[in-house]
Amino acid sequence: MNSSVSGASVPSCRLTARLRRSHPAKAQLVSRACARIAVAQSFGLWARRGRPHSSKNMRSRAETRNDTSVRTLFSLLLCIEQFRIVEMSNPKNDRRRLAYQAHLRHAKGLSEKSMDAALSALTEFEVFTRHRDFRLLHREQIIGFKDHLMTRASRADGQPLSASTIIHTLGHCRAFFAWLVEQRGYRSMNATEVDYFAPPRREVMLARTLPPKPVPTPDEVRRILSTMPGETLHARRDRAIVAFMYLTGIRVNAVASLHLRHLDMVSRTVFQDAGVVRVKFSKSQVTSFFPVGNDIEQMVADWALELCQRGYSPDDPLFPRNGELGANGDSEIARECWSNSAPIRRIFKRAFEDAGISYYTPHAFRKTLTRLGLGMCDTVEELWAWSLNLGHNSLNTTLQHYGVPSDERRRHVLGALGRSMDETMDEGTVAFLSLFRANPALAQAARIFARQERSAE
C-alpha cells in the first residue's frame, strides 16, 4: 500500500497545482479533494494517470470491499467527477488562466471571491470545449456553449439556470477572451469572435424585468423580535443581531465582522472600518441609527452592555461566533468573528420560522428601511441623508433598486392622489374638468388652468 500511496502523490501534486490555479478561493477544499484522490489511488479506485476510473469500474472495485470508509470515499469521488473539477488538463490554458488571475488581482484589483467567480465561468467554458486550446476559439464553440447554458440544470436545485447566471457566465468569458486577444502569441486570433459571447437579448430582458421580491414590513420585523427568546446568551445575541440590522441597515457580511469598538451608543453610530470590517467595495463609513424605535435600540444597547460586563474588550467581536457555547447557551462564547455571513442567515431563517412569517434574507431589511424612509422623509435633503446612511453614493440607487413600491402600494398612492385633487376643487371646477375627461391632454391643461386660477385668488 505504501508504494501505491507514493505513486499517487505525483498525479495528485499536479492536480493540486491545477485546482489551486482555477479555484484560488477554495484552497482548503482543493487540499482535501487531492488527499482523497491519493487515498483512493492506494485502494485502486483512482487511475495512475491522475484521473478516476469509469463510474462502472469504480463501483465494481468499491463493492468488492466491505470497508464502509471505502464506500464513502467512492461516493465522494463520484461527486468530484460530477462537478468536473478534475478535468482541467491543458497546460497552455492553465498558464493563460494563471496570467489572467494575476491581471484580475493586480490590474483590476478584484477580491478573491470575484476572481473565483470569473475563473469558474472560464472553467465551465473550457470543460464544454473539452479543453481545446484557447487559441482555437471559434464562434461555433461559443454558440454551442450558450445553448448549453440555456439547457443546463443548476447543481444547487436542479432547475434551469437563471437569466442572471447565464449573463454573468458569458460576461466573464467575454472579458477573458477580450484580454487574451491582446496578449503576445494570441494577437492572430479573430477578435470579432469574442462578440459572440453577448448574451441573448431575451435573457437580458428577463434579468431586468424580474418580479419584485417581497419585503418585510416594519410590523413583521417587530413581530419577529417579539417572538425571539432571550433566556440564554445565545438567544440574546441572535435577537440583538436582528435588531441591529434593522436599526442600522448594515450589510450582513459587515455585521459578521464588526468589533465592539465600532459601536458608539452615545453618538448612536457604527463605524464600518474597511481595514477590519468586510465592507462592500472596501468603503469605510459612519452609519447612524435609523429612527425605528427606542425599544429596538435598547436591545442593541443591552447586548453591548452585557458583553462589557462579561469582560469583552473593544477589540473583541460585537457578535461572537458559537465556538464555546454550552448546552444551556450560558457558557462563554468564542471571542472570534464569523468568517462569513452564513450563520447570520441561519439565525434569520430560524427567527422567521418561529414567528410564522415567510423567510426574507437579511438584505431585505435594507429595502424595508428604504420604504420606511420614503414615507417619513418630507424633503429631498432628508431623503438624501437617508440614502447616504444606507451606503449609497447615488440617490438613484436607493430609489431604483431598493425603493420600488409594490403593485398594491402603487395603486394606493395613485388612488389617494386622485382623491386628494378632487377634494381640493369646488363643484364648479370638478364639473369643468369632467368635460375633458375623454381627452387626457385637455384634462391636464384644464387642471393647470384651475390651479393657476386658485393661486391667483
Q: Are residues 102 and 204 in the same domain?
A: yes
Using alpha carbons, list the distances in angstroms from residue 212 to 216, 364, 375, 400, 406. 13, 12, 19, 12, 7
- Amino acid identity, residue 150? M
- Last residue of one domain, picked from the residues 175, 208, 241: 208
Q: Are residues 349 and 224 in the same domain?
A: yes
Range of the domain at 61: 2-82
3-state secondary structure the chain: CHHHHHHHHHHHHHHHHHHHHHCHHHHHHHHHHHHHHHHHHHCCCECCCCCECCHHHHHHHHHCCCCHHHHHHHHHHHHHHHCCCCCCCCHHHHHHHHHHHHHHHHHCCCCHHHHHHHHHHHHHHHHHCCCCCHHHCCHHHHHHHHHHHHHCECCCCCCECCHHHHHHHHHHHHHHHHHHCCCCCCCCCCHHHHHHHCCCHHHHHHHHCCCCCCCCCHHHHHHHHHHCCCCCHHHHHHHHHHHHHHHHCCCHHHHCCCEHHHEECCCCEEEECCCCCCCHHHCCEEEECCCCCHHHHHHHHHHHHHHHHCCCCCCCECCCCCCCCCCCCCCCCCCCCCCCCHHHHHHHHHHHHHHCCCCCCCCHHHHHHHHHHHHHCCCHHHHHHHHHHCCCCCHHHHHHHHCCCCHHHHHHHHHHHHHHHHHCCCHHHHHHHHCCCCCHHHHHHHHHHHHHHHHHC
Q: Is residue 66 domain-resident?
A: yes
Residue linked to cell 375627461: 437
Q: Are residues 229 and 271 in the same domain?
A: yes
What's the pLDDT at 408?
Answer: 72
State phi, psi for 76 to the nearest 5 degrees.
-65, -40
Sign of CA dihedral 254, 255, 257, 259: positive
Q: Are residues 119 and 261 in the same domain?
A: no
Q: How many domains does the chain have?
A: 4
Q: Are residues 248 and 356 in the same domain?
A: yes
Hey, what's the cell of 313?
474588550
**Portion of the chain with pLDDT greater than 70, in percent:** 67
Q: Are residues 326 and 263 in the same domain?
A: yes
Q: Is residue 380 domain-resident?
A: no
* pTM score of the predicted model: 0.62
**CATH number of the CATH domain containing 336:** 1.10.443.10
Q: Are residues 222 and 363 in the same domain?
A: yes
Q: Is residue 374 domain-resident?
A: no
CA atoms of 418 and 422, how far apart (whole Å): 6
Q: Is residue 160 domain-resident?
A: yes
Q: Are residues 54 and 118 in the same domain?
A: no
Q: Are residues 192 and 289 in the same domain?
A: no
Nearest CA to 239 among 223, 253, 263, 250? 223
Q: Is residue 213 domain-resident?
A: no
Q: Are residues 225 and 201 in the same domain?
A: no
Hey, what's the cell of 160?
434551469
By the 8 A CB rule, do 443 and 433 touch? Answer: yes
Query: Cβ neighbours of residue 54 under 8 Å, at least 6 residues apart?
Result: none
Q: Is residue 272 domain-resident?
A: yes
Hey, what's the cell of 420?
386628494
- Last residue of one domain, picked from the residues 189, 208, 227: 208
Q: Is residue 400 domain-resident?
A: no
Q: Are residues 230 and 364 in the same domain?
A: yes
- Last residue of one domain, picked from the residues 155, 175, 208: 208
CA atoms of 347 and 372, how far apart (whole Å): 24
Q: Are residues 329 and 233 in the same domain?
A: yes
Q: Is residue 378 domain-resident?
A: no
By the 10 Å C-beta count (0-12 exposed, 13-18 middle, 19+ buried), 142 is classed as: buried
Mean pLDDT by groups of 10 residues along the chain of 457 residues: 38 56 58 59 48 48 47 50 51 90 91 87 90 92 91 74 87 96 92 91 68 83 94 92 96 94 95 90 90 94 93 91 57 77 93 92 92 88 92 85 73 68 59 59 66 65
